Amino acid sequence: MLEQAVIYTFVALVLIGGILAAFSRQILYVIIGLGISLLGLAGLFLNLGSPFVAAMQVLIYIGGITVAIVFAMMLSIAMSIRPPDPNPQKLGFAIACAVIFFGAVAHLIRGAQFQQIASPASEKAWSVGALGHALLTHYNVVFEALSLVLLLAIIGAILIARRALPKENS
């Protein structure tokens, strides 16, 4: 009973955060909504018996990305200007994208054959050795692809920063 309540609390957090992120006009609330939603997701991971994924979710998405967005936003004028009026064309496009994405994901999940497996003992599954082994064997391609994406992001950031410099000097 109590466990059900905990799960539904996290689901509610995800939904409330998502709604706040999608429908808020003030950019700070959008970021807070995103943070709440991601926190709820971390709670769900924890409930599914993956404390490591939950901790990583909090570390990367809340401690890293949300804080980085806050950081970027507070150095810009985005916080002090009035939010622009809703644009019906953009709104329609966004709704279409969301519906297509939701439909595709729902379709995939409905079609998938999930196997019920006994969750491995937490002590073994999340040891440093097991994690390192998994990252460098089974998830090797994903791991490398992610590093590549991060490298591209860094190069992009450097490019943007370089282009801005000469303007300031002149």
Interface ranges with another protein (CB under 8 A): 2, 28, 32, 35, 51-52, 55-56, 58-59, 62-64, 66-68, 70-71, 74-75, 79, 122-123, 126-129
Write the DSSP symbol of residue 26. Answer: S
Nearer to another protein, 82 or 114 (CB): 82
Percentages helix, strand, coil for the chain (3-state, rounded to 5) are 80, 0, 20
Q: State which residue, 122 or 140, has the beta carbon closest to another protein.
A: 122
SS3 52: helix
Whether the Cβ atoms of residue 31 and residue 73 lie closer than 8 Å to each other: yes
Helices (H) and strands (E) in the chain, counts: 8, 0
Rounded Cα distance between 87 and 82, Å, is 15
Q: Which of residues 59 and 104 has its CB atom nearest to another protein in the complex?
A: 59
| Cβ-based nearer residue to another protein, 25 or 90 | 25
